[in-house]
Structure 1
């Protein structure tokens, strides 16, 4: 049954991993975790601060530890950070410990969904957000595709619709 499996959500900034993950966990009666939120709770600081003080390498080290720990649990839904798949260790952990679902979205939707969000460290640089998201998409989309068991486009669907689509796919597998 889908309820016993770990479900790991991957995808770019603004794909809906956290929002959809919460809804999915609620509908399947599973525990929900967000790796970014876990890092913030454990450090007592927001991600921007961790990035500023420790750099991306320091953040990725923390992310690796958190994801390794959380994925050892059973019956969870985990929303991962957009860049977590850059680590082959994290990719291998996700692939071996649960079902990996790639929530795919367009750059236009990402821009719309993150327009007012000031908490995303990689979007707080001098390039335009579209340029940054395009660079990240070229780097990360192939990594998402490589480890995904299931790919779902979230662009024109409600959170409820995406969650139900995932549940139906899992029940039929």
Structure 2
């Protein structure tokens, strides 16, 4: 399997897209791009401020514009925001010459990883766990539909997830040789 031009990481907040994306990019010799950080750089403001001033719809429009731009990158691992899949128009940008990896995690794991993070506007409510439940119910089918590969991240270190993903992206040559040798022995 030859490597795709782009690997796009989708999944809920707290799945590890940024951390795993950086490690994966380093392993592949690709550059890493976090779409949320790019939006903040271009806007000169953080995401909570964008949500406060422009609302979620304004943020999603900025996100769509960035995803269109990133759909032309080569040799990149791109971490998307959790809601990037909510606009149907983004699906084509995400798929364009890319392999999509869904980093799937349980709502409990998301809650543990995000409950103290004040940079997540959708969770700034009295019951963030119920919001995570609702988001998962709406978004999980979209992540799954788009994904070429689904990787569970619950109770796994980012390095383990990257190692497992690398095994799926670039199967080890010696495994193939060993497999071929065994096949050859069986037919001799």
- CA contact 2:5–2:73 (8 Å) conserved in 1: no
Match of 1:153 in 2: 152
For residue 103 of structure 1, what is the aligned residue in structure 2?
Answer: 103
Residues 34-43 or 90-99, more deviating: 90-99
Q: Distance in 1 between matches of 2:97 and 2:66?
A: 14
TM-score normalised by length of structure 1: 0.95
Count of matched residue pairs: 170
Cα shift readout 1:104-142 (whole Å, capped 9, x = no counterpart): 00011001111211000100123x011000000011000
Match of 1:44 in 2: 44
Contact 2:10 2:100 in 1 (8 A): yes
**Residue equivalent to 2:58:** 58
Partner of 2:131: 132
Question: 1:97 Cα shift?
Answer: 2.5
Shift of residue 30, structure 1, vs aligned partner? 0.6
In structure 1, what is the equivalent of residue 117 of structure 2?
Answer: 117
Task: State the SS of the aligned residue for 2:27.
Answer: helix
**Match of residue 93 from structure 1:** 93
- C-alpha contact (below 8 Å) 2:71/2:94 kept by paired residues: yes
Unaligned runs of 5+ in 2: 172-188
Report deviation, 1:21: 0.2
Does 2:76 match 1:72? Answer: no
Aligned match of 2:30: 30
Runs of 4+ in 1 over 6 A off after TM superposition: none
Deviation at 1:29, TM superposition (A): 1.0
Report the RMSD for the aligned CA atoms in angstroms: 1.0
Whole-angstrom CA distance in 1 between matches of 2:35 and 2:71: 10
Contact 2:71–2:96 at 8 Å: present in 1 too?
no
After TM superposition, give the deviation of residue 16 of structure 1 in Å: 0.3
**How many Å separate the matches in 2 of 1:22 and 1:5?**
16
